Amino acid sequence: MRISDHISEKMICLTLENITKDDVIRELAELLKESEDVTDFDMFLKDVFEREKLGATGIGNEIAIPHARTNAVDNIIIAFGRSSQGIDFNSPDNKPAKLVFLMGTPKKDINKYLQVLAYLTRLLKKESFRHQLLEAQNAGEIMNVIREIEN
């Protein structure tokens, strides 16, 4: 299981422009819109917002992982965004999210969905990894940081 298999440089934004949770989700979703794995963009976005209503996807340590199991994607897709001021994702520690991973997984792949979500969460518990994501200067560096921690 590798996060780097499901994200690319064009799915990374180091300067999120929006300041609300919903707008940031839309901004990150736009990065995935042209992916061949997205079969129905509007349904994907709707499913992410429906999942968001079920409970906060802010996990603490300035991280949020909005996500959805959806029939609107053929494979797991991930977008990454970074916010200097942080976005309120109702995290348990009340800290705004500066690192946001938007993830979509096919509904039929529940095991893969749970594995990727757990793996990403485990990686993000490492302070050095979070620090490197915050300090990277461009999308290529983000990809290198992700690949490095996976090895």
pLDDT in tens, 22-79: 999 999 999 999 899 999 999 999 999 999 999 889 999 999 999 999 999 999 999 9
Query: Which CATH number does the domain 3-150 belong to among 3.30.365.10, 1.10.340.30, 3.40.930.10, 3.40.50.300?
Result: 3.40.930.10
β-bridge pairing 67-70 and 97-106: parallel
What is the domain partition of the chain in residue ranges?
3-150
Catalytic residue among 28, 44, 66, 67: 67
Q: Is the pLDDT of residue 1 over 80?
A: no
Q: Collapse the DSSP code of 15 into the 3-class scheme (helix H, G, I; strand E, B; otherwise coil) and give the result.
A: coil
Average pLDDT over residues 121-135: 95
pLDDT in tens, 113-125: 889 989 999 999 9
Residue with tokens 């979509």: 104
**Predicted local distance difference test score (pLDDT) of residue 122:** 93
Q: Is the dihedral of CA 47, 32, 117, 88 positive or negative?
A: negative
Is 67 marked active-site?
yes
**Predicted local distance difference test score (pLDDT) of residue 12:** 97
